[in-house]
């Protein structure tokens, strides 16, 4: 990836985090709630098809992919993957402390379908969305070809999954995805410089 492309990713990602954060602190709009309800209200029959790929956004995916990259001789990509996944996860946790936006079960008045363990703390931004997006961008650039759409699909299913299981609102996902894009751009830029 060129330095210019990496910088563009950082700027786009930062704009998404700041923009979605500015909207999120205003509360849940009727439009955001409608999107949440549409996804969260899907049938329980979707649980396995959504839950399984949603695991791409868990932190454990980061070291696993980094080890696989390392063992297959892609040492530079392994380091970048580990840096991007770890930084996106940690930054999401740091931003949550500042944003203090409640999760759907606290932010919405009506019932929320929780499909899995109840999660506490702030919902903005989604750490799963940040991690899955950062990993998808870094891996998509490294592998290219048919891998890119597969990785985008995994990230998108992670985003949808976090709303479906009832632990994030749509702006949480946008903020997390933006954070992931920014971190991926920054880590690839640093990797290219080093």
**In order of start, what are the domains of the chain with their CATH numbers?**
3-193 (1.20.144)
Q: How distant is the alpha carbon of residue 48 from its chain centre?
A: 19
What is the band of 151 on the pLDDT scale with cuts at 50, 70, 90?
A: very high
What is the band of 105 on the pLDDT scale with cuts at 50, 70, 90?
A: confident
Structure tokens at 128: 């799963």
d(CA 73, CA 172): 36
How many residues would you count in the chain? 194
Q: pLDDT > 90: what percent of the chain?
A: 79
Q: What ranges in the chain are assigned the alpha helix state H?
A: 3-24, 30-40, 47-54, 61-71, 75-99, 104-107, 127-143, 147-164, 170-193
On whether the pTM is more than 0.85, the answer is yes
């Amino acid at each position: 990836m060129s330095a210019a492309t990496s910088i563009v990713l950082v700027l786009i990602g930062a704009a998404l985090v700041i923009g979605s954060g500015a909207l999120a602190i205003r509360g849940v709009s009727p439009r955001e709630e409608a999107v949440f309800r549409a996804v969260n209200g899907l049938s329980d029959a979707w649980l396995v098809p959504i839950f399984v790929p949603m695991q791409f956004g868990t932190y454990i995916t980061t070291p696993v992919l980094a080890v696989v990259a390392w063992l297959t001789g892609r040492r530079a990509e392994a380091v970048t993957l580990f840096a991007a996944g770890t930084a996106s996860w940690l930054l999401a946790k740091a931003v949550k402390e500042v944003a203090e936006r409640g999760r759907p079960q606290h932010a919405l008045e009506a019932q929320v379908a929780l499909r899995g363990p109840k999660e506490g703390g702030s919902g903005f931004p989604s750490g799963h969305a940040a991690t899955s997006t950062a990993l998808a961008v870094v891996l998509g650039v490294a592998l290219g070809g048919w891998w890119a759409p597969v990785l985008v699909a995994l990230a998108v299913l992670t985003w949808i999954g976090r709303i479906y299981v009832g632990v994030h609102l749509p702006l949480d996902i946008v903020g997390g995805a933006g954070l992931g894009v920014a971190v991926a751009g920054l880590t690839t830029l640093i990797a290219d410089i080093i």
